[in-house]
Structure 1
C-alpha cells in the first residue's frame, strides 16, 4: 500500500463512483478517504470501498499530510474553495468540470492552481478518447489537406432540467462545454466570431438546445449543436452524435452508439475505417495519466488543464449569452417536462439516467 498513490474523494455521486471504480481497477491508487454529506452515499461508499475511511467532513482529507491527491466530484459551487484548500495543503487535484459555479470563480481557481508547482487536471473526457486522438493524428499527417470545417453534434434525451444542473448551468454549458473544448482542441486556437440560436424547450426557463456557428482565429469554420431534447418521451429512445471534419482535400467523420465508436478516414492516400469500443467517460485514461505524472514528477502533456476548462466554460457562457440576443423561443409546456421527469425516475434503461443510492 505504501507504493500506491493516496487519494481522498470528495463527492460520491455519479462521477465520484465512476472514479472509484476505475481507480480500484488500476492498481495504482489507495483510496484512503471517501467524503459525502449524504448518509445514503456514505453507506454505499462503505459497501463499495470497505478499506476506505468514509467521512462527512472534507477537512479531514485536507488535514491529512499523507494524502497526495484530492478528487473533487461534488457540485460546482464547492470546487473553487476545495481547489484552494488542496493547493494550500500541498495536494494535487483531479476535478470535475466546471471548476467553479461562476466564470469569475473559475478564473480564480485557475490563478490559484497556476501559482503552484502542484499538478491539477479536469475531466474533459473527449480529449482522452481514442477516436479523437486517432482523428487528430490523421489530420496532422495532412491526409485531408488543410483543416477547414468542424461540425460537431451531440443530441440525446440525456439529463432533463432540474436533474443536477443547478450550479453547472444549462445543458449547453454543463454538457456542451465538452464540445466547445474539443472543437478548440482541433482548431488549435481560440474562437473569433460566433452566432448562436437556442430554444427553451417545454418553456423551461433555460435553453435546453443550442446551435452555434462561427470561425476560429485561424479561419477554420465551426458549428456545434448540443441538446438533451432528443425524443425524451419517445417509446424507444435514440440519439444523434457525430463529428464531421472537412479539409481542403479529404474528410474525417465519427459516429457512436455509446457502445461502439466508428471512425471513417477518407484521405488522399488512404481510406481507413476503425471500429472499437466507445470507452465511455475515459476516466481510466485520465487516472492513468495523472498517476504517471505523480510517479515521474513530470506532468503528462495530454492532461487537460484547469485553464482549458475555464476557457471552454467561458465560451459556452458567451454562446448562451449570444443566443439570448437572437430570439429564444419557448416551445412546449412545463406539463410535458413533468411527464419527462416522472418517466426518467422510473426508467431502467435510457440516456443519462441518474444513479440511485441503494
Structure 2
C-alpha cells in the first residue's frame, strides 16, 4: 500500500493530513550535528552515502514524518556539469568558474558525480517502511542558473537577470543544459527508489512576469513533461518560492502534480484560485515554528482548515531554521496529527 503522502500527491484525501518539513534533515537536530562533526564538511557528508542515508532517516525516526526527503543539495547538478563546488564556512556555496565570465561550452561534464546520490536513495529506500514516502529533488533551472552564473548565492541575482536580458540565447543555453541534466538526474533518483520528486525554485520571486514565464514556467514544464513520459505514475511537486500571484499561471502551465506554497501565500487565496483538487503543500512560516507558542498552533489550524476540501500536505513555507527547538516541532506534529477537518 502506498504511504499517505504519496496517496495525497496522487490527489486523494486521506484520514489525516500527511506531514513533512523542508530541510527536516539538518542542523536543528542534535543527532545531525553530531554526525556532521564526525564526518567533516557538508559536501563530504553528502557524498558519504551511508552517512547521507542516515541523515535522511534521522527525522523519520524522531518524528515519524510521512515523507523522507533525500539529504543532498541543489548544486549537485552544476557540480555534475563540470563546475567545481565548495561549501565555505560562513560564506555558503561557491561554484567555479562562474559562467558570467566563462562559456558553458568550457565545462567538462562529470556525470559520475551523480552516482553516489542514487546510491543514497537506494540505501534509504531499503530502510524505510512502506508507510513513508521517499522524496527526491532537484533545483529548478532558474535557481540553479543564478548560482552557476554568479559563482555563489546573491540577494538580487543581478548577474543572472542581466545576462538573461543582454544575451538571452546564451542564457537559454544554460537553462536548457540544466533542464536536460535535471530530467536525467530525477529519472535516476526515481529508478533508485524515489516515489515522488520536488523541483525547488527558491529564487523564482526575483523575476518580472515575462521573465517568470520564460525562465521558470517554460523549463519546469519541459522537465515535468519529460518525467511524466518516463514515469507517468510518479508525482512531481513544483515549488516556485516567491511567485505570488504568478503561482496561478505556474499551476496551470507547468503540469506539476502538486504545488508547494511559501509562507507569503494566503491559503484562502490559494484554495480559491488554484485548480480544483490540485494537491497543495505548505505553508507555515518557518520563523513561526522557531518562535513557537500558541500562535504556532493557531496558524497551523488555519492552514489546515483552509485546505480542508482538497488534498493537502502540511509543510513549511521554506526550510526549517537551524535554531528551531525540537519541542516546537513536536508540538506542530501533534497539532497536525490531532486536527479534525
The answer to whether TM tops 0.5 is: no
TM-score range, shorter chain: under 0.3
What TM-score, normalized by structure 1, do the two folds share? 0.26
The structure whose Rg is larger is 1
What TM-score, normalized by structure 2, do the two folds share? 0.27
More helix by share: 2
More strand by share: 1
